[in-house]
Amino acid sequence: MDAKKLVNNDFADVMFNRHSVRVFDKNVKIDRTELQEMIREAATAPSACNLQSWHFVVIDNPEAKAKLKKAAMKFNYPQIDTASALVFIAGDTQSHEVYRDVWQKVYEAGNITKEKLDQIFNTFLPLYENATPEFLQLDATMDSAIAGMQLLLVARAHGYEANPWSGFDFKTVIADLGLDPLRFVPVMCVAIGKPDASVTPLQTQRYPAEQLTEFI
Ligand SMILES: Cc1cc2nc3c(=O)[nH]c(=O)nc-3n(C[C@H](O)[C@H](O)[C@H](O)COP(=O)(O)O)c2cc1C
C-alpha cells in the first residue's frame, strides 16, 4: 500500500464527489496488477473478529462478463458491457476455518502475547464454530459490504469511477460465477472504469441526516 501512488489522495473529493457511474469508456483497460492492488487496498477494511469473510471475483473479459450476465438484471447490462472490470464480492461463510492462521501470524509478529492469542481462540472460535448458517451469512455479508464501500473509494483514489450494484439473481449468481453456493453468499458487484464522457452521471440527493438520526 503506497499512498504516494494514489492518483487522487484528496479524501473530501474522493468521498463527496463519488457518484455511481454506469456507462464507461469501453476502450479503457485496467491491468490485473492494478486491479489486484485495488482489491488489496479495499481489503484493509475492518471485519468482524478480523475474519475477513470476503471473496473477490474479478470479471474483466467477455467470457466472464457472459457468466455474470446470466444472473444480472437487464438494467445492469450497461455496466457489464462497458466497465473495464467488475469485482463481484461474495461473503465467505467458512472464513473461520482459517481463523487460527490469521491470528497465529499476529502472534508470531510479536503483536500479541500467547495469553491474548489463546483468549481470542477461546472466545471467538466457539462463537463461529457453533453459529447458525444465518449468523455466518449475515456476518459475511456485513464484512463484504464494508469492503465493497472501501473498494468504491479506492477506485476513485486510483482515478476511476464505479457503481455498486446487486441487481442480480441471488439464487443463481454464485453458481454462475463458478463459486460454491454452500459456502459463499452474494453481496455486491462493483463496476469500475473511466466514465463515458458523453453520459452525464445522475446526481442523487440524500435525506437530511437529522431526519434519520436520534440521539438517545
Ligand atoms: C446494495 C446496493 C445495491 C445497488 N444495486 C444497484 C443496481 O442493481 N443497479 C444500479 O444501477 N445501481 C445500484 N446501486 C447504486 C444505487 O442506485 C446508488 O448508489 C444510489 O442511487 C445513490 O447514488 P450514488 O451512488 O450516485 O450516490 C446499488 C447500490 C447499493 C449500495
| Residue 201: predicted pLDDT | 86
Indicate the pLDDT class of residue 70, thresholds 50, 70 and 90.
very high
Ligand 1 and 165: CB distance under 6 A: yes
CA of 89 to the centre of ligand 1 (A): 15
CB 203 within 8 A of CB 19: yes
Domain extent listing, the chain? 27-197
| Residue 154: predicted pLDDT | 98
Indicate the pLDDT class of residue 169, thresholds 50, 70 and 90.
very high
Please indicate whether residue 46 or residue 124 has the higher confidence score (pLDDT).
46
Ligand 1, atom 14: closest residue by C-alpha: 165
CA of 115 to the centre of ligand 1 (A): 45
CA of 104 to the centre of ligand 1 (A): 38
Ligand 1 and 204: CB distance under 6 A: yes
CB 160 within 8 A of CB 170: no
CA of 54 to the centre of ligand 1 (A): 20
Indicate the pLDDT class of residue 191, thresholds 50, 70 and 90.
very high
Q: What is the mean pLDDT of residues 172-189?
A: 98
Q: Which residues, listed in sequence order, are joined to residue 188 by a DSSP beta bridge? A: 89
Q: Is the pTM of this model over 0.85?
A: yes
Looking at every residue in the chain, the average pLDDT score rounds to 96
CA of 3 to the centre of ligand 1 (A): 28
Ligand 1 and 186: CB distance under 6 A: no
Query: Cβ-count burial of 173 within 10 angstroms (0-12 exposed, 13-18 middle, 19+ buried)?
Result: buried
CB 94 within 8 A of CB 39: no
Domain 27-197 has CATH 3.30.428.10: no
Ligand 1, atom 6: closest residue by C-alpha: 165
pLDDT value at 1 more than 80: no
Q: What is the mean pLDDT of residues 96-123?
A: 92
